[in-house]
Amino acid sequence: MEKKAETEKAVWQPKIIAFVCNWCTYAGADLAGTSRLKYDAHIRVLRLPCTGRIDPLFILKAFERGADGVLVSGCHPGDCHYNTGNYHARRRWTLFRELLEFVGIDLQRLQFAWVSAAEGAKWAEVVNAMVAHVRELGPFEGYHTMLARSGQTLWLAKAGANGGNGSGHDVPGTQPVERSKEKQETE
């Protein structure tokens, strides 16, 4: 369903959000930087106090804002600055993965890793692997179509002037009507 024509893929760049814990993976990413390790730039890193603080709400919001993939990474079990944050998180994600897979999301788009503060190289390798996976999969068509159908204007514009005919469309009034007919009404 998601294989894209070569040319469009050349233009399209994956948008990946990484939720990382402040004490380990963020420091690991820093180390990758100071060690001048090269890794793919199509990743945006968000720092949180602990993997235990990374809420499934955040992951859904990342997809809602157009992420094609989400990477979650933190301290190895046993290294957590708050002792048990990553253990609780691990249980939560074990279930969250099952749920997202059940509702039809390809788990290649949601990767989990443990990267310690000393593993700058592993961070670069994890990121490169993730970007490659998602580049292979292409844009997250399913979610973007759902967003366009739900009237999220950013995705409407991407989905062409008319995000969907009137009846199939969830939110009447969101699709931008052709410029000519529409009256500009900013009283």
Partner 1 sequence: MSMTATLTNIYAPYLMTVDEIIDEAPGIRTLKLAFQDEAVRKDFAFRAGQFGLYSVFGAGECVFCIASGATRKGYLECSFQKVGRVTNALRDVEVGDTVGFRGPYGNHFPLDEKIKGHNVVFIGMGIGLAPVRSVIWTCLDERKQYKDVTIIYGARSADLMVYKRELAEWAKTPGIKFVKTVDPGGNPPGWDGEVGFVPTIVERAAPSPEDAYAILCGPPIGIKFTLPVLLKLGFPPERIYTTLENRMKCGIGKCGRCNVGGKYVCKEGPVFTAAEMKELPAEY
Partner 2 sequence: MATIITAENLKQLAREMLKAGYRVIAPAKQADLVVFKAIKDAQEMLPESEYILPQASFKEFVFPRCECILRYRFGEGGKPVFESPNLDGEPPQAVIGCRPCDAASLPILDKIFGWDYVDPFYFKRREKTAVISVACSRAGEGCFCTSAGYAPDSTAGSDILLKKCAGGKYAAEVLSDKGRQLAEKFGSLFEKVEATPPVEVAGLNPAFDVEKIKPWLDKHFDDPLWLEIAARCMGCGTCAYGCPTCHCFDMVDEGDLAGGCRLKNWDTCSSALFTKHGSGHNPRSSQEQRYRQRVLHKFKYYLEKFGLRACVGCGRCTARCPVNLDLRGVLQTIAGKQA
Partner 3 sequence: MAEAVEELRALARDLLAKGTVQVFVGYGKGASPGRTAPLIITSADRAAELVWDKHCLNNLAVYLTRSEVTKRGKVGIVVKGCDARAVTGLLQEGQVARENVVIVGMSCDGMGEPLLEACGRCDVHTPAGKDADAHHLACDYVIGKAAVPDAQKEDEGAEYADVARIEALPLAERWAFWQEQFGRCVRCYACRQVCPLCYCKRCAVEKNEPQWLATSAHTAGNFAWHVIRAMHLAGRCVGCGACERACPQHIPLSLLNKKMAKAVLQHFKYRAGNDPTAAPAVKTFELSDENDYFR
Residues that bind partner 2 (CB under 8 A): 65, 151-154, 166-167, 170-174, 176-177, 181-186
Burial of 147 (0-12, 13-18, 19+ CB in 10 A): buried
Rounded-to-integer distance, Cα 63 and Cα 116, Å: 26
Smaller CB separation from partner 2, 28 or 163: 163
Partner from partner 1, partner 2, partner 3, none binding residue 146, C-beta < 5-8 Å depending on class = partner 3
Q: How many helices (H) and strands (E) does the chain have?
A: 7, 4
- Note whether 182 binds partner 1 by CB under 8 A: no
How far is the C-alpha of 79 from the C-alpha of 87, rounded, in Å?
Answer: 10
Which stretch, 5-13, 27-35, 150-158, 176-184, contacts partner 3 (CB under 8 A)? 150-158
Phi/psi at 138 (nearest 5 deg)?
90, 180
Residue partners of 158: CB distance under 8 A and separation at least 6:
144, 148
Supply 170's token pair.
Answer: 């969830």
- Of the pair 22, 174, the CB lying nearest partner 3 is at 174
Site size toward partner 3, by CB under 8 A: 40
CB-nearer residue toward partner 3: 56 or 176: 56
- Using the contact rule CB under 8 A, the part of the chain among 79-87, 143-151, 163-171, 179-187 near partner 1 is 179-187
CB of 160 to partner 3, least distance (A): 18
Of 113, 158, 159, nearest to 133 (Cα)? 113
Orientation angle between helical segments 56-64 and 141-149, nearest 10 degrees: 80
Applying CB under 8 A, the span of 8-16, 37-45, 80-88, 179-187 interacting with partner 3 comes to 80-88
**Closer Cβ to partner 2, 32 or 147, answer by number:** 147
Binding partner of residue 41 among partner 3, partner 1, partner 2, none, CB cut-off 5 to 8 Å per kind: none
The residue ranges that bind partner 1 (CB under 8 A) are 185-187
